C-alpha cells in the first residue's frame, strides 16, 4: 500500500497546474460534450463526428469576428473546387455548421449567427442551401441573416435559400454597412487576423487532449465509487478479500495508459496549448476553449486527490477492521477450547481426591492445563 501511495503522490504532483504557469479562470467543463445533431442550437457536435477533410478545407469558418450588432459571423468563402466534390454531403456540411454555430452561440450568450457567403465569382453549390435549410429547420432562429456577397443582384441565388432571411451585398463597401472592415478576414478583403490551419490544429489538439482527460476522469470516479463499497465484511476472510480488491483497483489505476500519459505529458501539453491560445488570442473561441480545457484538467487533478484521500482512508479502515476480525477469531478459538476441553478438564481435576500419588497427578495435569490455556490467551493479549 505504501508503494501505491507514493505512486499516486507522484501523479498528483505531475498534475499540478502551477507547474506549467497557468491558472483557471473558468469552471466550464462543457467543452466536447458528446451531443448529437438534433439536441439544441447551442449543443456541441463531437469533434470526432466531423468530416476532417471538410473541416480542414475551410469551406466554413468561425474566425471570431462579429457584425456591427455584435452577432457572431460564420464565413463561407470561395473555396475553389471543394464544393464540387461529389463526396461532400449536405448532412456533413450541416454538422460542421452546427458545430461552428454552437461554439459561436455559447460565446455570445445564444445570439443567432450571421452567415457570410462569398458568391462573387461563382454561385454557391446546391449543397450549401440544403445544409443551411436543414440546420434552420431543425433549430429555428439559429441563423439570424445570410449575407450573400455577389457582383450583382442574384435573385436566382437568393431563391435557393428557402426559409432564411437573405440580404444580397454587391460591393465591399456595401458589406461594411453590416460588418466593419476590421471584422472581415482577408477572404472578404478585410483585416481581421485569422489563420484557418492554425485554428483547426489548435482545436484538434485541445479536443484530443480533453478526450483523454475525460477518459481518465471516468476511471478515477468509477474507482472512487468502487472503494466506497464495503458490503459483507463480517468475517476475517471477507476483509482480506476486500483489502486485495482495494490494492488491485489501485494498481489498475496506476497502470492505466491515459493516466500514465497524463502524468508524463499532461503538463507539457497544457503549456503548449496555452502558448498557442495566447498566439491566437484574437479569436475568442480559442480563448474559451483553452479555459474549458484547463477546467477539465483541474477537475481531473481534483479527482486524483479525492481518490488518493479515499484510498488511504479506506485502507486504514480495512486494516483496523482486519485486526478486529483477527481478535474475534482468536476469542472464538479460546471460547471453543474452553467449552470443549478446558471446562471438562477443570471438572475432572476438581474431582481428584485420595492418595498423594493422585494429588500429584492432578497437580501435573493442572500445570499442563494452565500452560495450554496461557498459549491460547497470549495471542489475544498481544
Say if residue 301 is exposed, middle or buried (CB neighbours under 10 Å; 0-12, 13-18, 19+). buried
| 240 and 293 belong to one structural domain | yes
Compare 67 and 365 and report the one with higher pLDDT.
Answer: 67
Over residues 225-229, mean pLDDT = 88
More confident position, 262 or 152: 262
Residue 382 lies inside a defined structural domain of this protein:
no
Residue 241: pLDDT over 80: yes
Q: Three-class SS of residue 40?
A: coil
Residue 23 has pLDDT above 90, yes or no: no
109: left (phi over 0), alpha (psi -120 to 50) or beta: left
pLDDT number for residue 270 = 94
Same domain, 290 and 214: yes
Which pLDDT does position 183 carry in this prediction?
96
What is the arithmetic mean of pLDDT over 145-156? 78
Hey, which of 50-54, 360-364, 365-369, 374-378 has the most confident mean pLDDT? 50-54
Q: Are 175 and 167 in contact (CB under 8 A)?
A: no
Distance CA 100, CA 113 (A): 10
Burial of 144 (0-12, 13-18, 19+ CB in 10 A): middle
- From 192, 224, 256, the end of a domain falls on 192
**Higher pLDDT residue, 338 or 379?**
338
Burial class of residue 38, CB neighbours in 10 A (0-12, 13-18, 19+) = exposed
19 inside domain:
no
Strands of the sheet with 166-169, listed across from one edge: 73-76, 113-118, 143-149, 166-169
Distance, in Å, from the CA atom of 347 to the CA atom of 265, rounded to the nearest integer, reads 75
Distance between CA atoms of residues 54 and 58, nearest Å: 7
Distances (CA, A) of 34 to 276, 314, 318: 25, 34, 39
341 and 207 in a common domain: no
Averaged pLDDT of the chain: 79
Are residues 101 and 117 located together in one domain of the fold? Answer: yes
Grid-cell match 471438562, residue found: 344
301 & 314 share domain: yes
pLDDT of residue 41: 44
What residues make up the domain containing 320? 198-325
Choose the final residue of a domain: 192, 221, 256: 192
369 in any annotated domain: yes
| pLDDT tens column, 263-302 | 899 999 999 999 999 999 888 999 999 999 999 999 999 9
Report pLDDT for 13: 52
In the chain, how many domains are there? 3
For range 220-232, the mean pLDDT: 87
Cβ neighbours of 44 (radius 10 Å): 20
- Residue at a domain's end among 170, 192, 214: 192
Which of these, 164, 101, 107, 103, lies nearest to 130 by C-alpha position?
164
C-alpha cell at 222: 468509477
- 41 inside domain: no
pTM score: 0.74
Within this chain, do residues 228 and 309 fall inside the same structural domain, yes or no? yes
Q: φ, ψ for residue 240 (rounded to 5)?
A: -65, -40
Residues 347, 292 within the same domain: no
CATH number (domain holding residue 139)? 3.40.525.10
d(C-alpha 283, C-alpha 181), whole Å: 16
Contacts of 108 (CB under 8 A, 6+ apart): 66, 70, 71, 72
Are the C-beta atoms of 335 and 326 separated by less than 8 Å?
no
> How would residue 323 be classed by pLDDT, with cut points 50, 70 and 90?
confident
Q: What is the pLDDT of residue 27?
A: 34
% of the chain with per-residue pLDDT over 90: 37
Enter the C-alpha cell of residue 245: 480488491
pLDDT at 377 over 90: no
**Residue 158 above 50 pLDDT?**
yes
Q: Which pLDDT score is estimated for 2?
A: 46
Q: Given a cut of 90, is residue 178 above it in pLDDT? A: yes
Q: Is residue 9 part of a domain?
A: no
User: Of the given ranges (44-53, 71-80, 343-352, 364-373), which has the lowest mean pLDDT?
Assistant: 343-352
DSSP letter assigned to residue 45 = P
Task: Identify whether the C-beta of residue 239 lies closer than 8 Å to the C-beta of residue 321.
Answer: yes
pLDDT (mean) for 100-122 = 87
Q: What is the pLDDT of residue 382?
A: 46
**DSSP state for residue 301 in the 8-state scheme:** H
Amino acid at each position: 500500500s505504501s508503494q501505491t501511495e507514493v505512486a499516486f503522490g507522484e501523479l498528483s504532483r505531475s498534475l499540478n497546474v502551477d507547474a506549467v504557469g497557468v491558472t483557471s479562470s473558468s469552471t466550464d467543463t462543457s467543452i466536447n460534450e458528446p451531443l448529437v445533431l438534433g439536441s439544441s442550437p447551442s449543443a456541441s457536435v463531437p469533434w470526432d463526428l466531423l468530416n476532417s477533410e471538410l473541416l480542414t478545407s475551410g469551406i466554413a469558418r468561425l474566425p471570431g469576428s462579429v457584425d456591427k450588432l455584435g452577432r457572431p459571423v460564420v464565413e463561407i468563402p470561395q473555396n475553389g473546387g471543394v464544393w464540387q466534390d461529389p463526396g461532400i454531403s449536405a448532412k456533413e456540411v450541416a454538422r460542421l455548421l452546427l458545430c461552428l454555430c454552437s461554439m459561436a452561440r455559447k460565446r455570445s450568450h445564444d445570439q443567432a449567427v450571421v452567415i457570410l457567403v462569398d458568391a462573387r465569382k461563382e454561385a454557391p453549390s446546391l449543397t450549401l442551401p440544403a445544409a443551411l435549410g436543414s440546420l434552420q429547420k431543425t433549430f429555428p432562429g439559429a441563423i439570424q441573416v445570410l449575407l450573400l456577397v455577389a457582383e450583382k443582384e442574384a435573385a436566382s441565388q437568393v431563391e435557393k435559400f428557402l426559409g432564411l432571411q437573405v440580404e444580397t451585398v454587391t460591393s465591399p463597401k456595401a458589406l461594411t454597412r453590416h460588418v466593419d472592415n476590421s471584422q472581415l478576414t482577408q477572404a472578404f478583403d478585410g483585416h481581421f487576423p485569422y489563420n484557418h490551419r492554425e485554428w483547426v490544429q489548435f482545436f484538434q489538439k485541445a479536443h484530443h487532449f480533453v478526450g483523454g482527460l475525460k477518459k481518465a476522469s471516468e476511471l478515477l470516479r468509477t474507482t472512487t465509487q468502487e472503494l466506497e463499497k464495503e458490503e459483507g465484511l463480517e468475517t476475517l476472510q471477507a476483509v482480506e478479500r476486500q483489502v486485495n480488491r482495494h490494492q488491485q483497483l489501485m494498481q489498475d489505476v496506476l497502470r492505466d495508459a491515459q493516466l500514465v500519459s497524463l502524468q508524463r505529458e499532461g503538463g507539457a501539453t497544457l503549456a503548449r496549448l496555452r502558448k498557442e491560445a495566447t498566439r491566437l488570442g484574437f479569436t475568442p473561441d480559442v480563448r474559451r476553449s483553452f479555459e474549458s480545457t484547463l477546467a477539465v484538467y483541474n477537475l481531473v487533478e481534483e479527482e486524483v486527490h479525492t481518490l488518493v484521500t479515499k484510498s488511504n482512508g479506506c485502507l486504514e479502515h480495512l486494516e483496523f477492521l482486519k485486526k478486529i476480525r483477527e481478535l474475534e477469531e482468536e476469542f472464538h478459538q479460546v471460547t471453543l477450547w474452553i467449552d470443549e476441553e478446558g471446562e471438562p478438564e477443570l471438572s475432572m481435576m476438581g474431582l481428584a481426591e485420595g492418595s498423594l500419588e493422585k494429588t500429584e497427578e492432578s497437580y501435573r495435569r493442572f500445570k499442563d492445563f494452565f500452560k495450554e490455556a496461557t498459549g491460547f490467551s497470549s495471542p489475544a493479549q498481544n
